[in-house]
Amino acid sequence: MTGAGEQSGAPGPGRRVLVGVTGGIAIYKAVELVRGLAREGFAPTVVTTAAARRFVTPLTFAAASRGPVLDDESAWQSTGGWFEHIDAAREADVMVVAPATANTLAKMAAGIADNLLTAVYLAFRGAVIVAPTMNWAMYEHPATQDNLRRLAGRGVEVLPTGRGELACGEEGLGRMAEPEAILAAVRRAFAVAAEGPLRG
């Protein structure tokens, strides 16, 4: 795999961010997030799920990140092959999942690794940030709340959702955090890293 840090003018080690993107309607904010990370001097590597690719093409994220975009298909086509998830996890310093759907959050909480994104999460040993997004009823369901508590208990930073009009037209909690709020969380993670090892 070609790391973002190997590109001309790209940041070196210590500024590398994995951005996991799932198939939520708030995915357009993920494009803004990736663009913002690159603008601030971070080296984002995007990992998309199959559902995410139904909303936004890998080319869009490649243009925004100026770096690699990984998915289940690219993992098998690359020289990394079987170990693409290990390589991606070891080459990053911070991992962000945004948008983080109820489905992906449940997989992360249960340790299910049935796609590249969740496999990378299990292999990753740095700071992890998730930005949930879903319908208010799904967000408030006890199963979802339990999954969020379990992740937080393992050191994952769970960003709060916003209240407002959702994609379904209803009002309630479930709006994904704004890109600037996620960027601020990434900055905090690197600030903590400067004081000691990252833990996730």
Q: Mind telling me the catalytic residues?
A: 168
CA distances from 83 to 38, 68, 80 (A): 26, 16, 5
Residue keyed to tokens 């992906």 = 104
Q: Are 41 and 66 in contact (CB under 8 A)?
A: no
Tokens representing 56 are 């936004």
Residue with tokens 């967000």: 139
Residues 119, 113 contacting (CB under 8 angstroms): yes
* Residues 61/48, Cβ–Cβ less than 8 Å: yes
Instruction: Give the SS3 label for residue 155.
Output: coil
